[in-house]
A and B are shown apart, each in its own frame.
Chain A
Amino acid sequence: MNVLEVKDVYKRLGKREIIKGISFNVKEGEIFGFLGPNGAGKTTTIRMLVGLISANSGSIAIMGQDIKKHKEKALSHVGAVVENPELYTYLSGRQNLELVAKIRRVPLSAIDEVVELVQLTDRINDKVKKYSLGMKQRLGLAAALLSKPKLLILDEPTNGLDPTGILDFREIVRKAARETKTAVFISSHILSEVQELCDTVAFINEGVIKAVESVEGGTISKDSETVVVVPRDLKACSEVLNKLSYVKDLIEKDGELLVRAQIDKTSDMIFDLTEKKIAVKELYIRHKELEERYMELVEGGVR
């Protein structure tokens, strides 16, 4: 079931067309990554999803409710952090959450639960003024999760989080997706982030979605992978490799060979090279598929 449906959305700000017709769907329990460079239109898209700005054309529906026509109903299914988590700095963390709880008619008991989840229990009664950026991120996440939304929208959520915080954050998001079937929409420019967490990733640049691909086990599913071979004799090695059936092509670069080969053929490659007495210093699979894809789609090729 689609929690979020975006169809043919265009947005102009002033004379510039920021979003040029994007469409995508996010299903129940799916973690959807929205990947793109700065200025690609990620935040503009998010602002439209939560009704802060309105699209010039096209439609956005959350749980079947149009964001323009039934904004209140649509937003009742959404928990969101847009850009930085902006909370009332002159109120305490708890008072901020109480504010959201009262508006959304969530019982106040839910606050303790969610505070526990984001591990802010010790500092929840302090004024937000005194929070670090990471703590604000946690509080923002808590505010978004408070009403157990059907759709969780997060904009660059790991900004300011320390490594433990990032791990905790991933765990929280995965748990929400798994246990309550929450659909999660995460925008990011950090590739590893998306690779680790997301089921699906959409690449956006210059207001257009270049591709939507699914990520499995931390990689984009495809039939080839890149193997890096560092041989002693470059020429001899490339001659041997070129003759192998499962090697699609190879590039020489800084004394290394980047070999694009069929998936799961690394052992065969080692056997074949050993057989031909080719001395190899190093051989490994490059786990940078997403990055390559990103470069390909966004920057126009591998650098």
Chain B
Amino acid sequence: MGTLIGLEIKKLLHRKKTLITTIAFLLLIGLVAFGSYKEDENRRKWENPEFQIKNMEESIQNLKARQNELNISEEEKKGISSDIARMEEEIKRLKINPKSDAADWKKQTQIEIDNLKKQLESPGIDSTQKEYYKNQIQEYEYLLKHDIKPERNKLTAFSFLSVLYEGMGFIFLAVGVGLFTADMVSGECTPPTLKLLLTQPISRRKALFSKFIAVVSAATIMIVAIELISFVIMGLIFGFGDFNYPMFVGTRFKYDMNQVVNGTHPIVSIAGSTYMITRAVYLVRMFLLQILAIVTVASFAFMLSSIFKSSMVSVSLSIVTPVVLFIISNIQSLSKFTMLMFTNHLNPEYIMKGQNVMRFSNPNITPTFSIVLLVVWAVVCYGISHLVFTKKDILI
């Protein structure tokens, strides 16, 4: 079995397709890295006090011009005046002590905590907002306690990875891994090298399983290794950020039975269900979920490749199917069906943060639900390819 897997990996590495997919992935990473860098550059520009002062002075002039127009009400004029006053105040502050903001992040954070606490006590907020404020407060308090400076949107190796996941969650995993896997079996039909393989003294069951293990491990190693390398490179250039930085995950949801919006009960978070983990733990979970996603996508494409003799058919189907599933996932009326499709559970961030709940308006899509769903898909798809492959007459 080990020999067979080794041989399959060797075959994979000798194919052009492997090189092409790897290059495509590297390009994607390069693009995401470049994009994040540009975004970060913008952010720093906005945070620059001189740039802020210049912007605010421009706004003040615009507002003053607006004030002098004839057709605006007294009330509006008053509002504009107070805006102008506020901005002038801010400009004064920035001019006196341009660095104060950066140096005194502790004081600033404390102020924000106080503000959030006030908001939390204000009447009329629902439990989703309450959960959000609570988490924010918890985050800031944790940061103060552990002496970690808030990163906000600063570019770090971590934020780079999470942008990469968001961009990749669907596109690269579903299409890239699908493409990589979809001709594992059918690719041996033209030219029919499968005949050489299957006339050797090995059972079809083993031949198939070694192919599956080979392609899954090759895809996993390729993706995870490239991600880790790019993570280290980005970290060395832009900093890794703090590994103990708090992340909030696991929020559970329920229907709010006390309210009706548009004829249904709105979905709210369950108070106290969210919990905090460090970023290091978050990262590990993200990688594990990603590996599960790779396995599932691979089993699906693998199934297609053992059903169809033509690699053209299996490859195109493995690309078209996820794209179609992704498109119909936006149709609300089909959400009961589309929420069961594996393509909607490939993004580790979505799973951990429960974003699918809102997308499909169903509070039952918990992380466990997503994980079980992916496992079921993988097992069923591999089971089908096993049944088809071990039974069929090889007539190629």
Residues in A lying within 8 Å of B, measured CB to CB? 13, 47, 50-54, 71-76, 78, 80, 82-83, 86-91, 95-96, 99-100, 102-104, 143
Q: Closest Cβ of chain B: how far from A147's Cβ, in Å?
A: 9
Taking the nearest CB of chain A, how far is it from the CB of B183, in angstroms?
13
CB of B7 within 8 A of chain A? yes
A71 touches B203 (CB 8 A): yes
Interchain CB contact (< 8 A) of A80 among B7, B199, B395: B199
Known: A80-B199, A91-B11, A104-B200. A53 touches B395 (CB 8 A): yes
Interface residues of B (CB under 8 A from A): 3-4, 6-7, 10-11, 14-16, 191-196, 198-203, 393-395
Within the complex, the shortest CB–CB distance from A292 to chain B, in Å, comes to 34
Interchain nearest-CB distance for A48 vs B (Å): 9
Whole-angstrom distance between the alpha carbons of A54 and B198 in the complex? Answer: 13
* Contact between chains at A53 and B200 (CB < 8 Å): no
Q: Which residues of A contact B4 (CB under 8 A)?
A: 103
**Complex: how many Å from CA A252 to CA B285?**
92
Bound CA–CA A128/B229 (angstroms): 35
B395 proximity list for chain A (CB < 8 A): 13, 47, 52-53
Does the CB pair B196–A87 fall under 8 Å? Answer: yes
Query: Can you name 16 A-B pairs with beta carbons within 8 Å?
Result: A50-B199, A54-B393, A72-B203, A74-B201, A78-B201, A83-B195, A86-B192, A87-B196, A88-B193, A88-B196, A91-B11, A99-B11, A103-B4, A103-B7, A103-B200, A103-B202
Q: Is the CB of B15 within 8 A of A102?
A: no
Closest to B17 in A: A90
Hey, which chain B residues are within 8 Å of A103, CB to CB?
3-4, 7, 200-202
Question: A17–B157 Cα gap in the complex (Å)?
Answer: 65
User: Quick check: A86 and B195 within 8 Å, CB to CB?
Assistant: yes
A69 to B364, CA, bound (A): 48
* Residue pair B201, A75 in contact (C-beta under 8 Å): yes
Residues of B within 8 A of A87 (CB): 193, 196
- Report A-chain residues with C-beta under 8 Å of the C-beta of B393: 13, 47, 52-54
Kindly provide the distance from the CB of B376 to the nearest chain A CB, expressed in whole angstroms. 31
If A13-B395, A52-B199 touch, does A89 touch B191 (CB 8 Å cutoff)?
yes
CB nearest neighbor in B for A99? B7
Query: Do residues A73 and B201 form an inter-chain contact, with CB atoms below 8 A?
Result: yes
- Please give the distance in Å from B254's CB to the nearest CB on chain A: 55
Closest A residue, CB atoms, query B196:
A86
Q: Which 8 A-B pairs have the closest CB atoms?
A: A53-B393, A76-B201, A75-B201, A52-B394, A50-B199, A103-B200, A72-B201, A80-B199
Query: Are A104 and B201 interface neighbours, CB within 8 A?
Result: yes
In contact, B203 and A52 (Cβ under 8 angstroms): no
B203 to chain A, nearest CB (A): 6
Task: Give the nearest-CB partner of B194 in chain A.
Answer: A86
| Best-surrounded residue of A54, A82, A89, A143 (most CB of chain B within 10 A) | A82
Residue of A nearest to B4 (CB): A103
In the bound complex, residues from chain B placing their C-beta under 8 Å from that of A78 are: 199, 201
B195 surroundings in chain A (CB, below 8 A): 52, 82-83, 86
Tell me the bound Cα distance from A220 to B115 in angstroms: 106
Which of A52, A71, A80 is packed against the most chain B CB atoms within 10 Å?
Answer: A52
Q: Given A52-B393, A53-B394, A86-B193, A102–B199 Cβ distance below 8 Å?
A: no
Q: Smallest Cβ distance from B207 to chain A, in angstroms? A: 10
A80 to B393 CA separation, bound complex (whole angstroms) = 17
- Residue of chain A at shortest CB distance from B207: A103
A102 to B3, CA, bound (A): 7
Given contacts A75-B200, A78-B199, A80-B199, contact A90 B394 (CB under 8 A): no
B182 → chain A, closest Cβ, in Å? 17
Bound complex: CA A86 to CA B191 (Å): 7
A168 smallest CB distance to B (angstroms): 22
CB distance from B394 to the nearest CB of A (A): 4
**How far apart sit A53 and B202, CA to CA, in the bound complex (Å)?**
15
B14 near A90 with CB under 8 A, answer yes
A104 to B199, CA, bound (A): 11
Complex-state Cα separation, A72 to B201, whole angstroms: 4
Instruction: Tell which of B14, B15, B195, B201 has the most Cβ of chain A within 10 Å.
Output: B201
Contacts of B196 in A (CB 8 A): 86-88, 96, 100, 143
**Cα–Cα distance between A271 and B374 once the two chains are bound (Å):** 92
- Residue of chain B at shortest CB distance from A11: B393
- Sample of 13 further A-B pairs with CB below 8 A, known A82-B199, A86-B196: A51-B198, A52-B198, A74-B201, A86-B192, A90-B14, A90-B15, A91-B14, A96-B196, A99-B11, A103-B3, A103-B7, A103-B201, A143-B196
Bound complex: CA of A82 vs CA of B195, how far in Å?
7
Closest chain A CB from B380 CB (angstroms): 26
Instruction: Give bound CA distance, A178 to B191, whole Å.
Output: 34
CA A87 to CA B192, docked complex, whole Å: 8
Q: Are A75 and B199 in contact (CB under 8 A)?
A: yes
A51-B199 CB under 8 A given contacts A88-B193, A89-B191, A91-B11: yes
Chain A residues with CB under 8 Å of B11's CB are: 88, 91, 99
Q: Could you say which residues of chain A place their CB within 8 Å of the CB of B394?
A: 47, 52-53
Neighbouring A residues of B16 by C-beta, 8 Å: 90
**A71: B residues at CB distance < 8 A:** 201, 203
User: Which residues of chain A come closer than 8 Å to B192, judged between CB atoms?
Assistant: 83, 86
Complex CA–CA separation, A83 to B200 (angstroms): 16
Report B-chain residues with C-beta under 8 Å of the C-beta of A90.
14-16
The residue in B7, B10, B16, B196 that gathers the most chain A C-beta atoms within 10 A of its C-beta is B196
Please indicate the chain A residues that have their CB under 8 angstroms from the CB of B201 in the complex.
71-76, 78, 103-104
CA distance A99 to B193 in the complex (A): 12
B191–A102 CB distance below 8 A? no
